[in-house]
Amino acid sequence: GQNIDQPTEMTATEGAIVQINCTYQTSGFNGLFWYQQHAGEAPTFLSYNVLDGLEEKGRFSSFLSRSKGYSYLLLKELQMKDSASYLCAVRDGTGGFKTIFGAGTRLFVKA
């Protein structure tokens, strides 16, 4: 079967660092995406990992371990505007463009 697991909610303090984990079991693997979604809005792309290792992009970094079926999104210097849901998504490797999303992690940033 296909499954993507993320924590349901997390709370962190403004200026701190938070790590959001994602584990996946899919029938194939063709890349892992992280998206940010504010309430009632469309998701926006944050990062893409297809090889093992860390990808850094400003305050956001994403890590992938394919052998462990594991990824995390690291947010540094948290700001209030980072309060949102963070969606982990895996594109399967069965030859198509099918992408499976996790349920998302709601992050609350407090002052």
Partner 1 sequence: DGGITQSPKYLFRKEGQNVTLSCEQNLNHDAMYWYRQDPGQGLRLIYYSQIVNDFQKGDIAEGYSVSREKKESFPLTVTSAQKNPTAFYLCASSIGGKTEAFFGQGTRLTVV
| Contact mark string toward partner 1, 41..60, x via CB under 8 A | xxxxx--x-x----------
Residue with tokens 């594109």: 91
For position 62 contacting partner 1 by CB under 8 A, the verdict is: no
Q: What is the rounded CA–CA span in Å between residue 89 and residue 35?
A: 8
Q: Of residues 33, 71, 84, 107, which one binds partner 1 by CB under 8 A?
A: 33
Per DSSP, the three-state class of 80 is helix
- Indicate whether 102 belongs to the interface with partner 1 (CB under 8 A): yes
Chain Cα centroid distance, residue 1 = 20
Residues binding partner 1: number (CB under 8 A): 23
Nearer to partner 1, 6 or 75 (CB): 6
Distance, in Å, from the CA atom of 70 to the CA atom of 23, rounded to the nearest integer, reads 4
In the complex, minimum distance from the CB of residue 15 to partner 1, in angstroms, rounded to a whole number:
28
